[in-house]
Amino acid sequence: MCRRAAKAGGHGRQAVGSESRLTPLRRVEFASTIMTLNSGDVIACGTNHEGLGPLQDGEVVDFEIQHIGRMRLDVVDPLKRTWEKGIYMGTDSTNADVVRRNRPQ
């Protein structure tokens, strides 16, 4: 099994084993149909679930792939855009901050 993990600002964003739905080979295959991949390119993917949101300017992302190594990236957005953290998943949402923003009392 190959474990992969990503953290942004020290908070877990992804932790996946080889049991994920798409294998790394399938991810590369898909990505190469819509863009040119070059040696050293990294395909970072994950889920967009409650408590998460888009990476934003100033965040630091740490990637780790078991048996391969670690990499740290600084997120830079020249436009300095910001978004609220957390994704509202509807009536079943459990993230208190997201629910408060989307279902005012």
pLDDT digits (tens, 9 = 90+) for 49-85: 666 677 889 988 888 888 888 889 898 999 999 887 7
% the chain with pLDDT above 90: 16
Mean residue pLDDT across the chain: 78
| Average confidence (pLDDT) over 11-20 | 63
Question: How far is 68 from 2, CA to CA, in rounded Å?
Answer: 9
Which band of pLDDT confidence, cut at 50, 70 and 90, is reported for residue 1?
low
Between the CA of residue 82 and those of 11, 13, 31, 67, 77, what are the distances in Å?
A: 18, 18, 27, 35, 9
| Average confidence (pLDDT) over 36-53 | 76
The pLDDT score that the predictor gives to residue 23 is 77
Q: Which contiguous run of DSSP H or E holds residue 75?
A: none
